[in-house]
Each structure stands twice: as C-alpha cells, then as structure tokens.
Structure 1
Amino acid sequence: MRDILVTLIVFGSLPLIFKRPWFGMVMWIWISVMNPHSQGWGFARTYPFAAIIAATTMLAILFSKDKKRLPMNPVTVTFILFALWMGVTSLFAIHPDQIGEQWSKVYKIFGMTLVVLMLLTERKHIEWMIWTVVVSVGYYGVKGGLFTIRSGGGERVWGPAGTFIDGNNEVALAFVMVIPLMVFLRSMTANKWGRRALVASMLLCALAALGTYSRGAALAIGAMVIFLWLKSRDKFRLGVLIAIAVPALLLFMPDKWHERIDTIGTYQQDSSAMGRINAWHMAVNLANDRPLVGGGFQIYDAQVFARYAPVPDDIHAAHSIYFQVLGEHGYVGLLLYLLLGVLTWRTGSWVVRRTRAHSQLKWAHDLATMTQVSLLGFMVGGAFLSLAYFDVPYYLMCGLVALRLVVERELKRIREDAHAPAAEVAPQLQTARRRRA
C-alpha cells in the first residue's frame, strides 16, 4: 500500500511540475531527504523516483516561459568551485577505480542543488522548501520521540535505512537541525492547533535526538540553545522555557544515557572516540602528503590507514565533515568548503541586519536567524560525523541566497514607496511657483 501511495503521489505531481517548475524542487527534496519509498516493502524501494522527478523538473525549466537563471554571487561561485575541485581530486584519487558510485551520488546532489538555486525566486518558494525539509525530517523525529517515550529512553533511535541519516548519530543531527526551522514555521502559523502541533513536534524531535544516544547531537543542541537565546528578542520568556524544558528532557532519559554522554569528558577511555581521532590523524597525514588534491573519495580502507594512520588497523570513516573534506580533497578543498560556510553565514547575517528595522520583513529576519541556528547545529554536530555531502545544509544555503535576493527586492520597493510622495509633490510645487511668477 505504501509503495502504491508514493507512486501515485510522484506521478500525480509530474503535470504540476511541468506547470510550475518550482514544485519539482519540493518533490525532489521530499524524495531525497525523506526517502518515503524506503518505508515501503515492494517495488518502490528501488524505483528511480528521484531520477524521474529530476528529469521532469529540468524539462519543465527548459520549456518554461519564465527563463530561470542561476543567481551568481559569492556563495554560488564558491559552491561551483568546490564542486569542480572535487572533480579535479577525483582525477588524482588514490582509488580511481572505486570512486564511481560516490562521485555519481555527490554530483547528483550538487547538480540538483544548483537547480534548487534557480527555482527559489519568491518568498513562497522559500517557505515551501522549509516546510518540505521540516516535514521530511520531522516525520522521523516525531516517530523517534514517541518511540523514546514508549521505551523510556532505554532503546536507541535509528534513521531510515539506506539514507544519509540511517545511523543514530546522523539522524540525531538531522533532528537537531529542523528544530529551529520549526520555530520559524510556528511564528508564521496563524492556526493555534498548527502552532501547538509544531511545539509538540519540536519537543518530540529533541527527545528523539536524545534517544539516539548521540554525543555529537548533545553538543549541537547545547550550542544551538545558547545561540538561540542570544538571538532571541524575548530572552526572559525563552530562558524560562529552556530552564523548564531542558531539565525535564534530561531527567526523562535513563542512567545509561547519562553514562554515555559523560564519556565526552573521558574520551581517552572510549574506543569509538579514539577511533575517530585516529581517522582524523589519518586525514591530516594524508593531506600533508598530498596537500592539493587529498586522496579523493573512498579512502577509508586498510591500504590508506596502513600508510597514514597512527593506528593502522583501527579503520574508521572520517567522522567529521572537516577532516572528511581535508582527507578527500586536500587543503584547497577544505578552504573552499570553509569559505562556503562563512559566505553562507554572512548572507544570513546580511538579511538579519537589513530587516531588523522593517516590521514587514520580520518573517525574513526570523527565517535568516533560525536558518543560522540550524546551520550552527550542523557545524557543531558535523564536527563528529561524515556528512560533508548531506543535502539539507546545501538546501538551507540555497534558501539564504534566495532570501537575500527577495529582501533586496523588497527593500528597493520600500525605498521607492518612501520617495514616491516627494517625487509627486515636486512638480506640483514647480507649477505653483510658475503661476505666482
């Protein structure tokens, strides 16, 4: 039944995508982030829904009367340079015969990210994108929160199998990232039951993140809560809410959860933590040996660890977006990746500064702020996870780029409206003076 439902939704959306190409962006994010077909049990699990949606969207753009252009700005240029540099590092990869699958996967994500950038041109497009991300991840967060309550926090929450977020640590970071976006959507929702549902979803996502037993997620939540409070216009009310909610969530979790989180302070005695540090040393040593191009994709094997890792037989994935990019794409790749993050953050800060004094742009101010909070969670939690190519942060990057363009247009309109009366009065004054003369 689930297979049939997903199939009907996807194929039913194709005519709408041809009519409104931006809806293809919505469907692509839904399929690629939520992976609803993975929840089925039959043919839908392996059916190429994403490819069908991508092809339909690009055809719709090609035949659309409104020509779509890629917004060229520092963020877009850096993103393209990063994508091109990954192509260069692939040419010099340590295992050129093994990188094909990962190369294809990453370039599909990056290619469709450029398509999303082209399609986000209006406020409603941005809001649809945010809703799609929230629903796609929040579905699992609500399920995970209810599971945590049912199990009393005694069993771990895992993500959907076969996706970017199938692991407990990965799905925890996804839950953390959507909570600030839910805060924004709540501020935009007029219906009281809708607002209550979003509050309940936030709490369940937070509980689900704790239920993953992810130490990185715990650190990310802490960083986000502090930043959110600092950015809040009503620090007192938010502080009271945090003071009530956080202890309640922590008290709900069992002793073994607290024992797990306490290992953050004694990481030297934790084999998992030391394995990650070994992988980080491997990435640094590899990058020092191949500083420009790194090792390319697929470097986490016995051959590479034997050459570059302090403990050769302790083979781990990168477990850090920063060391992952460094090891795979060298110092040039890491510089481009960090620059992309800085420029994206500055784009959000620009929106926050320019909209602070305009009540009619409060929605943009709140969205930029909450997107920054979400990205902060990714930057902190991602320091312990191999999620450099996770698509949600790139969609949020697209959202901030589009948001700045929308705000620039709105500010221009506001300035024109402010000067319009003076422009209309001036000719009248000149006419009156001529008559008096």
Structure 2
Amino acid sequence: MGAWVLAVLCAVLIAVIWRALSELYRLKTEQARPASSPVARNSSEQFDQLLTMLLALHEYGVSRTGTVTHEEFCGLFLEKALQLAGSTRGTVMLLDEETGELSICAAKNLPRAPRALKLKPGEGLAGRAIKTGRPIFVPEPRKDPRFLIGPEGAPPEPILSVPLLLKGKPLGVLNIHDTSKRIAADETILKSLNLMAVEAAAVLHHQQRYDNLQTFYLEMVQTLARAVDARDQYAQDRVDRSRTWARELARELSLPDQMVRYVEFATMLQGIGKIGIDQAILSKPGKLTPEEFEQIKKHTTIGYRMLASVKFLGPVAQMVLYHQEWFNGKGYPEGLQGEEIPLGSRIVAIVTAWEAMASDRPYRKRLPRETAVAELRKGAGAQFDPKVVEAFLQVEERRHQAGAKDAPSA
C-alpha cells in the first residue's frame, strides 16, 4: 500500500514540475528579444534562476521526505522566494486542517509580536488570499483596511500574499514584503513567485501524505503489538514504554530519523512471533524444559516471516529476527556475534531485557533499579553490545533523575 501511494505522489509531483516548466518556457518565449538586448539577457537570467530554485525545492522536499520537517522546507522556500523577489522580509504560513487557521511556519526579519498571529481564511491579507485562491498585492499596507493588525502595526513597504494551492486545495500562503520595490515594477517576478508557490504546495502535500502514511503505519504497529500483549498479563503497557526507551536510545546513538522509527517498530513487535507459541509455555511459572525452550526460540523466525511479508516492515523484520542474538555469538537463531548483529537488533535486545527486569514475571517480581543496572553491565560484552549498554545507561540515568515512573523500583 505504502509503495503505491508514494508512486502516485511522485507521478503527481512530476506532472506539477512539467506544468511549471512548460509555463516557464512559454514566458521565456513570449519575452524573447535579440541576444544583444539587456532585457533579453535579464529575462534569460531570471528563467535560469527560477529553474534552479524549482529544482532545489523539489530535490530538498521530495528526495529527503521523512528527514525534512515542514519548518525546514518552508524555511528554504521562503529563502528562495525572497532571493527571487530581491526582498529581505517575509513569511510562510500553513493552514491547519483541524483548526482551520493559518499560522507562521517560517519567517525572516519579522517582529516578534506577529509571529504568534493566527488567521482564519478571509481574515487579513493572507486569509483573503487563501480564501479567494488569488495573489493579493497591497502597495500601501498602512492605508489598506484589509491589513488585520491595524495601520500602526503595518509595514511601510508593499506586501504580496500568494496562496499555496494544489488542485484548488489551500495549503498555506507566501507573504513577501516588497522591500526592494521590484515586484510592482516587474510582472515576471509575480509570475515566477506563483510558479514557486505551485511547486511548494506540491512538496508540502507530498510531505503531509507521507506523514499521514507514517501515522497509519504506527497505529497499525501499535494495534499488532497490543494484540500480542493482550495474551500476556505481565506485558500490559509494555508497548508504549518500550517504544519510548527505543526512541530515546536510538537518538542517543545518533541514528537517522527513519532508522529511529524502524527501531521503535521492532521493539514494539519483537514478541509478535509468540503468537505461534503454546500459551502454556509462555505462562509457565517454573523453569522451561530444553524442549520447551526450543519452542520459545522459534518466535524470532515466526515473527520474521510474519513481518517480512509487509513491505514497509522489511527492515523491522530483520531486527526482530536477530534480537535474541548475543554479542559473544551464543544467541539464536544463527549465532551471529559482534557487529554481525544489526544495530537495531542490539538496541531491541537491551530494551527488551530492561523491560523484562522492570516487570513482574510468572517466576519473580520486578527487580530493583540497582540490580537491573548491574545485570546490564554484567551482560555487556557477552549478551549485549557494550557501547549500546553505556548509551542506554546514560538515557536511563537522565530519566531516573527526571523521575521517570517506568524504571525498575529503587
């Protein structure tokens, strides 16, 4: 499902770029003059500059989806738009679908007070631009009643508000303060800013769809994990705790955002293969027989087969498969050792062990914090990666100092 959605999004973006470039070519052709003409050279330079900016926006916003925030992309978009307009001040506002309000996502050289400004469609210049779906240029804001914060707060320079639309759907507004007085004198700048707004809207839409897809994935993973934990009275609330530990540990190790998400998923789903294990064995209060332990060991491969069939969970499946490997090579299912074990699996192993010590089990009560810390240190170099153990203990110490409630008892 994920691959199909992303493929459709890429196709839409390619169509948007083709349309933008076609319009650019038309503008360039209409304004063509003899090569010796300074106006012709200026037009050609503007065309080249705009093309470079459009491609930069596309590359930054689409190829790095999942690693670039809306704020970062809006910051780049604003920078390029100001550069194109020869301006030093402006904002990008995004529309919140839930509240129906516009709020500032990126700003440059803006007084602090207006940064908290929120507008409904139809309110102020930006609100009117997004409601009408058309750019609004105000030569003298201090004399224009549409400027929401009043004449005393209005800037002296002209302002242009350009709506960010995708197939008529409003996503936000670009506001440019015409500090160089170039926009009013050059219609090409206005057209170029409109084209940049089209590309920005397409990228923002792509990012929002990606965010929605990631939210769907997370909710699905949480549902699966809780379904597994529902069979284990000792695993209640484990999903949220494990996810938090995994996220903080992965970030402590400076992993990329996408890898952090995979580690979160793997930690939440590490026990999914236990669905295929006899419940009587899982709940047995005493020591397992060798035959019963062999049955337990199958849960990693069962979990791998279940997750590997879901494309977006491919990296997660690998982490689940090897999370019972030991750093010294004495684990299962394949006896991997050291860095042969995926880093994600080494993280899951430590988080899972900590959670087991932090929880009541059929055969014992939860361990005191000092005992759990000592057990992790004891296992460093044997069961666990020493570097990951140290990183985890740094996270744990910070959380302990902050009074986290999901640590083993003191």
TM-score by shorter chain over 0.5: no
Structure with more relative contact order (C-alpha pairs < 8 Å, separation 6 or more) = 1
User: Which structure's residues are more often helix, by fraction?
Assistant: 1
| TM-score, normalisation: structure 2 | 0.33
